[in-house]
């Protein structure tokens, strides 16, 4: 998993509620594609017209926002069906951080497991950041300090669970975090075999 420390760059505003995982990546693409092939299809239904041409009115098709690293949105972002590929599609497009009022629970968990930072902020705070982004100012997301700022916006603090924060800072998914305790796990198993050998299959 790619570590997340500081992300500074263009932010795109997609300020609408209930953007579900099917809007982020259609179910048909999940059946057709493998990881590394989703960039073109992120937000497909909004990015393209029926004939396949780009929708010029969609924010992620407009310069400079087509190079956005940060996405600003409304409430319940990533709701709907459980699909890790929605996070993959965002990452492959170049999004490293999504700032929204709230998230679908499974989508939020998938973000943490894939190194994409999902930050909860109030509508007023997001509006302030969106105004700065519209003026062409980059945003700076600092996970060390748990702040988001812009050249003309003082740092806005956000809360993030400590154990998830440490995992993202170090680039550790749940498997990596478990393997950090490998010696303790092996010691526990060894002690168990000595104390309760009947529990373990003899080879």
Angle, helices 105-114/162-170, rounded to nearest 10 degrees? 40
Fold of 6-197: Aconitase; domain 4 (3.20.19)
Would you place residue 75 in the very low, low, confident or very high pLDDT band (cuts 50, 70, 90)? very high
For every residue of 90-135, which 3-state class applies, written as one string? HHHHCCCEEEECCECHHHHHHHHHHCCEEEECCHHHHHHHHHHHHC
Length of the chain: 203
The lowest-confidence range among 24-28, 111-115, 185-189 is: 185-189
pLDDT at 123 > cutoff 90: yes
Max Cα-Cα span within the chain: 69
Report in angstroms the alpha-carbon separations of 190 from 97, 184, 193, 196, 198.
Answer: 42, 10, 5, 10, 13
What residue ranges do the domains of the chain occupy? 6-197
**Which range in 17-21, 181-185, 191-195 is most confidently predicted, on average pLDDT?**
17-21
As a whole number, mean pLDDT of residues 131-151 equals 97
- Say which residues have a Cβ less than 8 Å from residue 19's Cβ, sequence separation at least 6: 73, 74, 76, 77, 78, 79
pLDDT, position 199: 82
The lowest-confidence range among 70-74, 125-129, 184-188 is: 184-188
Model confidence, pTM:
0.86
Mean pLDDT over all residues of the chain?
93
**Listed residue (164, 125, 173, 172) closest to 143, CA to CA:** 164
Q: Is the peptide bond before 64 cis (omega within 30 degrees of 0)?
A: yes
pLDDT at 35 > cutoff 80: yes
Structure tokens at 24: 């982020």
């Amino acid at each position: 998993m790619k570590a997340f420390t500081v992300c500074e760059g263009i932010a795109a505003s997609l300020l609408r509620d209930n953007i579900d995982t099917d809007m982020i990546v259609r179910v048909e693409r999940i059946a057709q594609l493998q990881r590394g092939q989703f960039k073109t299809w992120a937000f497909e239904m909004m990015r393209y017209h029926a004939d396949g041409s780009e929708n010029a009115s969609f924010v992620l098709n407009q310069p400079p926002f087509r190079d956005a690293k940060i996405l600003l949105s409304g409430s319940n972002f990533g709701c709907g069906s459980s699909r890790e590929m929605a996070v993959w599609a965002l990452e492959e497009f170049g999004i490293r951080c999504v700032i929204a009022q709230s998230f679908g629970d499974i989508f939020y968990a998938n973000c943490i497991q894939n190194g994409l930072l999902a930050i909860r902020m109030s509508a007023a705070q997001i509006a302030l950041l969106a105004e700065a982004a519209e003026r062409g100012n980059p945003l700076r997301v600092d996970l060390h300090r748990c702040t988001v700022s812009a050249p003309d916006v003082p740092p806005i603090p956000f809360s993030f669970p400590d154990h998830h924060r440490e995992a993202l800072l170090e680039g550790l998914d749940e498997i990596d975090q478990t393997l950090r305790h490998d010696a303790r796990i092996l010691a526990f198993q060894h002690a168990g075999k000595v104390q309760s050998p009947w529990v373990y299959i003899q080879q």
